Amino acid sequence: MKVVIVGGVAGGATAAARIRRLDEQAEIIVFERSGFISYANCGLPYYIGGVIADPEALTLQTPESFFSRFRVTMKVRHEVTALHPETNTVSVKNLETGETFEESYDKLLLSPGAKPAQPDLSGTGSDRLFTLRTVEDTLHIKEYITKHHPASVVLAGGGFIGLELAENLRELGMEVTIVQRPKQLMTPFDADMAAFLHNEMRRHGITLALGHTVEGFTEKENGIDVLLKEGAPLHADMAVLAIGVTPDTTLAKDAGLELGIKGSIVVNDRMETSVRDIYAVGDAVQVKHSVTGQNALISLAGPANKQGRIAADNICGRDSRYPGSQGSSVIKVFSMTAATTGINETAAKEAGLAIDKVVLSPMSHAGYYPGGKVMTMKLIFEKETFRLLGAQIVGYEGVDKRIDVLATAIHAGMKATDLTELDLAYAPPYSSAKDPVNMAGFIAENIANGLVKQFHLEDVKTLPKDGSVTLLDTRTEKEYLRGHIDGFLNIPVDELRERLGELTKDKPVYIICQSGLRSYIASRILAGNGYDTYNFSGGFRFYDAVEHDRHMTEAATACGMDMAES
């Protein structure tokens, strides 16, 4: 059997190695148009910033090492220019010599990945404008910075690459501005959770231009202007276009393969395309979202590697199935970590799901052990069934392991209430006896059992201020004086039983505290005394972070530009 693979990075390299492990006799040829194979896309921004010092560390294998171990022929700087399914051949061009030739196959695997989205904008040919996809792109940016010492940069795009690059360039001392068309960074997160990322970026001196659309670029003698729709141009020494990626599927389209979302390649759960003997994997393919069952594009390294293995199994006569992508991801933002899995609240509502949510602010480990830090967790679940749909966490240590637990729970089809039963490892330096994941389950269980009724961030602005309800803040007087929501009466939770006479039983009581715990205790005290209570999900800490971000964004819009915080 002869297998030809187009693309030698995540999915392609994984498939090649798996095919060899399953079939020692197969002839395997990989064509990769760049000069590198099996490289770590996710590490590229960290080489630019100097965190990864050795460029060779970016490439997990070389063509020579891959051949030595797997006897796979890796032809770099070779571009497949056409597919010919009718003859089971591909056309190939050697990019170094210009030579063209035909290569036959028994099975063909497409792993072309995705390319940086480049809309029809003026000025994209500027030498001061860059994109970041390959090792060559990385070396180009690094060389430019080393040679020209730019002091400022505008990044068009606030996704994974945009944020990672922003952090690394800021650490080099550059003035960094991020332009993002949505009014938030990192759209896999809901806007309320993204507020914590915004505040962290501003705290480190990043300027945010949210809600602005890039219309083009104009090269100047002393830099480049980034042109904004309905806004003044942003001037910098260099710019990076990182507004997202699109499937690189020209070959598939020209060969008549069935295409889906944004021109992606349609595959079945065996990673087979619509054309016999042709498989496809990675960022170029359309997948099913495992939570919603809807078609999706999910450009992440984990799914690409899994798909490569599954395609290889099926090429070698096995029966492997891809269950869909869940979208689990994590990102470092300076000292903060943000992670998500499943779908967010916005996506759930767009999918027509009736959902509920809990927001909590647990400590990363036992409070009595030094060094614990608060994280913010948001859990999304179906209203009636309590089936877990998604989770988002922003914090510091311990975020990654909690998101992995929740990702596993979602994959297993667990309910939010089932999280109470998870037997998770505990020692004071690592967790609490009631882990944050368990705590999220306890809140969901209280909701399911009718012990708690909630109100949320979006409800605050509609709370009546005519005296028909009681608004109660149960924090200490000092906390209250440092900041509170207008209209909320302050009675600390430890004084509540003695001050019940200040509240009226014929009015619903809406209760808030710093994190949601003391207000829950107050809610139970009041419920036990005949009051109708609602607990604020997330606490004042959550409310304050989101409101601060909203104020900064609105102020930026009013004056035409966001302000980084010192």
Q: Which residues are catalytic?
A: 42
Q: Contact 156/179 with Cβ under 8 angstroms?
A: yes
Question: Could you tell me where the beta strands, DSSP code E, fall in 99-186?
Answer: 100-104, 107-110, 114-116, 129-130, 152-156, 175-180
The angle formed by the CA atoms of residues 450, 455 and 459, to the nearest 5 degrees, is: 150
DSSP 233-297: EEEESEEEE-S-EEE--HHHHHTT--B-GGGPEE--TT-B-SSTTEEE-GGGEEEEBTTT--EE-
User: Rounded to 10 degrees, what is the CA torsion of 95, 101, 103, 108?
Assistant: 50
Q: What is the DSSP letter of 49?
A: T
DSSP-derived letter for residue 490 is: E
| Nearest of 363, 335, 416 to residue 541 by alpha carbon | 363
Measured CA angle at 148 (ends 145, 152), to 5 deg: 65
DSSP string, 154-165: EEE--SHHHHHH
Q: Is the dihedral of CA 327, 332, 333, 336 positive or negative?
A: positive
For strand 73-76 and strand 27-32, is the pairing parallel, antiparallel, or unpaired? parallel
The closest of 96, 97, 83, 36 to 63, measured between CA atoms, is 36
